[in-house]
Structure 1
Amino acid sequence: MHDQIDKFKKYTVENTLHHVLIKILSDYSVPLLEACCYYGSVNIFFFLISNLDFQINQKCFQYSFIGGNTDIINECMKNYNIDRNCLNDIVSCHNNQFLEYIFDDEIFQPQNFNITNIIMSQNLKAVYLLFKKDKNSIYPLCTAFSPTIDILNNEDIDLSKAYSDYSPMNYSAMYNTYEIAEFILSHGMKIKGTSYLFTAAQNNSIETAKVLISHGIDINGRDNIDRTALHIAAENNSKETAEFLIANGIDINARNSVSQTALHNATCSNSIEIAEILIKHGIDKNVRDSDSKTALYYAVINNYKEIARVLISPEIEFNYKYKNEETILHIALNHNYNEIAKMLITNGADVNIKNKNNESLLHIATDHNNKEIVELLISHGSNINAKDFWGKTALHNAIIKNYKDIAEILIAHGAQINEKDKWGKKLLFIKQRIIIVDKQLKFL
């Protein structure tokens, strides 16, 4: 809101306002007065309460701290007190002037603060204000803020005392505060399990990962669905951490609970650089998961062209048959993924392989009126007169669907016009039951 009071006054002459909702987030709208507080539109705010009998509510007060307009805040404070919701908004929007007011008036104690909120908003000022109030209250909160290492080094902080059950090492791994990680591990904290390394991999916190490994964390440790830290790095495109893990001996071909390697994860996340790193270090590209699907299958089904380009090479297995006896080339053609189909065809995929219905790839390309792929398949040796389960050739399908251009291409490359289908019907019989163009008829 731009707080254009003159235009707003003119608007109110012809329009009612009490049911107006204003969008403050992409999927969330609020009443007009609350929106004024949220955006700090002070002139419209006072016009509404003074002239149109709008009433301030607790939400107005809460949103006023986000808007940051002191006059609106003070007006709201006449009727409402700062509650926990207000406190959270004050912290998250870095309204540190009022945060100091809260500490000075002792409205809340350190243990009342939401640690996660302070960390997620990265409000360092809040950390220092807490430290000033009670130095031990900043632990484990401080582990998410690199500058607090000076406090830890110079102050006698009780590392056993905390107002939270959150793990300080998880925060350190999340925000890559590796100096703090080294500090707390050197002061007696024990590493339990491998979750810290997983958090470091998720957030590409390579320096913290180095600290954890230097203190003996199991680099090949698994989570509850049998993933390693490399799976996590691949899912989150944490390329530096992935390279570090590989260089330090993580099992590159480790499989999770559904038999997927990190290459499957990188592909499903479209993490091209991770896929390149894994392939460079020798990961097996033909590994099949519990559904018998390779990484390339997921690249094809999701039309991830660039990662498919990375995966396709002479040693890749193209012709494995999935559901309905379809190969990945069948799948690409059924979805009209031409770029991927061209990659597969030009790199050696079998162009004469058939599916459950005995349909060739040429049948499928014809059914989709895909001239480009029809021509490419023919140029790579596709059997132009191959028949499906019903005895139909690709030309039968082109004529039935009245795909003139496809029919011309097939006939020009030697398609037989007298072929019979399963019921003994020739194209001559079929053409009598449908409307086709004259140029096709003359060949029949």
Structure 2
Amino acid sequence: MEGIKNKNESNNELHNAIIEGNAEKVIQCLKSQTIDINRIIGKDSYLDVAIKSQNLEVIKLLLQANAVVPASLIPSFDDANKEIIKLLLAHTVDIEKTDSNGMTYLHLAVKNNFPDIVELLLSKGSNIYAKTVLKLTAMHIACQEKNITMILLNRHMNLFPVKNGEKETALHFAVNFEDLSIVKLLVQEGACINASNKFGLTALHLAILKKKLDIVQYLIKSGADVNFATNDKRVPLHMAAECGSVEMVKILLENGAIVNKKTEFGITPLHTAVFTRRKEIVELLVDAKANVNAVGNRDETPLNIAVAHECEDIVNILISHGAIVNHGDKKDMLLHMAAFNKSINLVKLLLEHNADVSVVYMNDRTALHMAAERKCPEIVEMLLMKGADVDAKTDDGFTALHISVEYNDLETCKVLLQNKANIDLEDKKGRTPLCFAAERGYVKILQQILSFKPDLQKNKLALYCAVKDNHKSHKTIILELIAHGYSMDLLKLWPEIYIDIFMLNAVRNGHTGIVEYLLKHGYNANKPLQTQAVEDINYGSLLHLAVRKRQLQNAQLLIKFGSDINIVDKSGQKPIFYAVENNCFQMTKLLLDNKAVLDDSCELLFMAARENNFRLIREILKYYKNVNIQDEFGTTALHFAAWHGNEETVQLLFENGAKCATVDQSRQVSFNSELYTKIQVIYGEEAMEEFKKNVLTTPLHIAARKNCSDIAEAILESGLSVNCRDGCGRTPLHVATLFNNIGPIHLFMEFNADLYAKDNDGYTCIDYACNNNQFIGNMHMDKVFPFVNKLIPIINTIDNCTTASELLMKYLAVAHLRNEKSCEKPSSCSKKLEDLYDNCVSEIALLNSTKIINSITLGDVLIRSIDTVTSYLKNAEFVKAFECVMDVETFPLYGIILKKKMRRAKERRLLLDEAQIYFTDILCLLEPPANRIMDFLNTRDLACIKQAYESFYSQLGYRKCKES
């Protein structure tokens, strides 16, 4: 135990001595045989502590005592630690340890410019070829940092051209750094001056690319190979020409550069100089005997490149030095290129040197074709003056005139025509230039060609081409052709399929005169169209086509000449279907007037109703009596009219016998059994509920939702119950409440709507009003499937229904006045609505105590029906008395309702009085039976009687007779 104690004391003494930096005490401790020199105290060894204390003398003592130096102990490389690092590296074993960037101690020493440490590491055998993550050796880093360590590295290299992953030598790096001093130092140290990288580039290549003239001069002077070829066979002269350095080109030529060296693509330095448009370099090269007719692998000569780049001055230089203009092969495309570029001066220059104007290139095109395509009449004229064949054809049979017409170039056409171009030549499809002009609608060019009197027999398809497309000028084109002698008799020369296509295009594009001509000359209006004619378009018949394209006059002609008006196409549709689908009234009327048969399906009537086209619906109803036809969801035309809010259409449908049937429960059961299961599986239960709300509905519900009070009133007067239900058991009052539509709510309450009617979920309209946000929030319209759009688009939700809530509270209090069942205020309503209800009850009590005349009170006017209030108006004193006691300020809650009800009663009273005149004056009925009849008539019926009454007097002049 005592020995262990002495050992611990000795170790502690050494530790303290190291911290204190007391070298003498350290020496004394080290003499003790009980010291463990590599002992770890905490996390640090004695050497760790000495390094942290930066005590060089103590570190030396520990190392002499054989302290182990792990690589992890080497501190960061900086000037403060330089001597310590040197001392530690002299004793460490693992000198090749790398950091996260792959840098060894040698890399770090070079980077920090520690020559003595570099020398130490090299003497210990450090790998001079070791590479960092970026594939850099110590030599490359030395070049980057431009420090003296590169000399030490160079002297210890067994093979100087050290290469990294890109095969770049230190000399390459020096050139890239554009530092002549380093380049000189490396060359003096024996660097391989012609070493190449992976692309075959030497230091000389790089110096030229960097445009460093001083480095280029030094490298050449030091023996760089001026004709060293890269992997793609480029020599320094190529690069000098590419860079545009006249001085470098001169130096290279003066030092033996071969002027006609070719790359692997057959490109010479002259090609490169022309391509980069370096006129001075071109002159230098041609003066140095460069081959001006050298041919690249793609048959390009320097002259080809010069012409393509529109370098007129270089073209002059090349030609003056013997460049060949006519090679007799593919290289003879000089005129083509000049014409394509619209280079008038170049074309002139080439023609002056006898360029061959008859040379053909791709697709047998001559330079004349190219000039016509590029719309350059000046070049066209120059080529023609040099003997170009004006009627030369391409492989498609196009002449220059065909091309100029195709590109709508009037000026070029004039030049060609004036030079006797053959206007009757056909291309491989039998089309002449006149056909081109007619087909594309180029009136001025067509007139120009016609002025040269083409052979109409050879241009027999011109009219066919004129009708082919529906361009704006087609009528003018046709008139021009006819005015210049084009007879319809030429059609006899056409193949039958051409005539069919001609007729098809004439019908489609509205060429009425041509349609009439063909029909008059025996064309069968019911002829089945050949597949080639219709081009896979399923029009069925010419009449189908005319209807679908809205060509009314052509449809009239086809019907006149016996076209079957009820023929069906492959889709099973008659022409009348497409007329209605296009919402085209005139076309529909034409077909119906000519005995088009309407099917028993609801499709046509529904299409017209969906488009909200009153005239179209009225025309269809003249021939279609089943106005109440329904689709598989129970939808009628009246549903669509209500949705569009078109009162005129609603009245029209009622006049034609429309009935507002309720949602048929048996239909729902049938529908459930057939489709509900499939729909629920595909779209889910929530979407199914929306379907029932919006498809299984009545026109009255739709009017309530669309806030159309007039339409709702017309529907109610037609006999539909105000308490009818939709697919979810909702009444119209539920829907009006949901959408806060005050007008329909007033109307429904006047027609005695049931405030306590419950939907399928057990909710009343009061619940809807008090909890509107909940019901709106449950409307998952994003999941409603596509065919709901047949009737109802996606519902636009609202934020609150405060007004509807207040209004319904007023009517709830009225129900209390009538002593109806369950008229207590709802428990779910807010404090504000509870207070409103109490105020309503109080105001109703005041109304009951306010007499108008005799025993009639304002409360009676409030709760009685319109017919009853109308009967009160027989007493003239009643109206005056009502105006005296009725004060909106006194009755703020019900005053407006009372005034509105009185106004409606007055309107009905007026209609009753006028109807009574009709019954007594015209029908000669006594007043009592007349009154009993009128009790059964609604407002709409009375309005019709008034209209008939006024019409009767107007026709007979009864009033004038009476006055006389």
- Sort the TM-score into its range (normalised by shorter chain): 0.5 to 0.7
Aligned pairs for 1:25-424 within 5 A: 82-84=371-373, 86=375, 91=405, 96-105=410-419, 110-111=425-426, 113=433, 115-123=435-443, 125-126=445-446, 129=449, 132=452, 135=455, 138-142=459-463, 175=478, 180=486, 182-185=488-491, 187-189=492-494, 191-192=496-497, 194-223=500-529, 225=538, 227-284=540-597, 286-287=598-599, 294-313=603-622, 315-322=624-631, 324-334=633-643, 336=645, 340-354=649-663, 357=692, 358-424=696-762
Query: 1:83: Cα distance to partner?
Result: 4.1
Query: 1:361: Cα distance to partner?
Result: 1.2
Query: 1:407: Cα distance to partner?
Result: 0.6
SS at match of 2:555: helix
- Assess if the C-alpha contact under 8 Å between 1:191 and 1:217 holds in 2: no
Distance of 1:369 and 1:125 partners within structure 2? 61
Query: 1:394: Cα distance to partner?
Result: 0.6
SS at match of 2:592: helix
TM-score, L = length of structure 2:
0.32
Distance of 1:231 and 1:401 partners within structure 2? 45
Residues 1:438 and 1:243: Cα distance change in structure 2 (over 3 Å): same
Query: 1:411: Cα distance to partner?
Result: 0.7
Residue 441 in structure 1 maps to residue 809 in structure 2: yes
Query: 1:88: Cα distance to partner?
Result: 8.6
Letter of the aligned partner of 2:449 in structure 1? Answer: L
Q: Larger Rg: 1 or 2?
A: 2
Residues 1:265 and 1:428: Cα distance change in structure 2 (over 3 Å): closer
Query: 1:138: Cα distance to partner?
Result: 3.0
Q: CA RMSD in A?
A: 4.1
SS at match of 2:559: helix
Residues 1:181 and 1:143: Cα distance change in structure 2 (over 3 Å): farther
Q: Which whole-Å deviations, capped at 9, do the CAs of 1:409-444 have from their partners, x for residues lacking one?
A: 111122122323324444444444344343331211
SS at match of 1:313: helix
Distance of 1:365 and 1:85 partners within structure 2? 65
Query: 1:360: Cα distance to partner?
Result: 1.5
Residues 1:200 and 1:295: Cα distance change in structure 2 (over 3 Å): farther
Structure 2 unpaired stretches of 5+: 1-308, 311-341, 348-369, 376-400, 428-432, 532-537, 669-691, 773-801, 813-964
Query: 1:85: Cα distance to partner?
Result: 6.3
Letter of the aligned partner of 1:414 in structure 2? Answer: N
Query: 1:367: Cα distance to partner?
Result: 1.8
SS at match of 2:633: helix
Q: Which residue of 2 aligns with 1:10?
A: none
- Assess if the C-alpha contact under 8 Å between 2:701 and 2:731 holds in 1: yes
Distance of 1:300 and 1:76 partners within structure 2? 65
Q: Which whole-Å deviations, capped at 9, do the CAs of 1:182-222 have from their partners, x for residues lacking one?
A: 3124x554534844433332234344334333444332123
Residues 1:114 and 1:212: Cα distance change in structure 2 (over 3 Å): closer
Distance of 2:637 and 2:346 partners within structure 1? 67
Query: 1:392: Cα distance to partner?
Result: 1.7
Query: 1:91: Cα distance to partner?
Result: 4.5
Larger mean CA deviation between 269-278 and 426-435 belongs to 426-435
Query: 1:263: Cα distance to partner?
Result: 1.4
Query: 1:262: Cα distance to partner?
Result: 1.4
Percent identity over paired residues? 18
Query: 1:241: Cα distance to partner?
Result: 2.6
Equivalent residue pairs, number = 345
Structure 1 unpaired stretches of 5+: 1-54, 57-74, 147-164
Q: Which residue of 1 aligns with 2:687?
A: none
Query: 1:323: Cα distance to partner?
Result: 5.2
Distance of 1:119 and 1:217 partners within structure 2? 23
Residues 1:379 and 1:93: Cα distance change in structure 2 (over 3 Å): farther
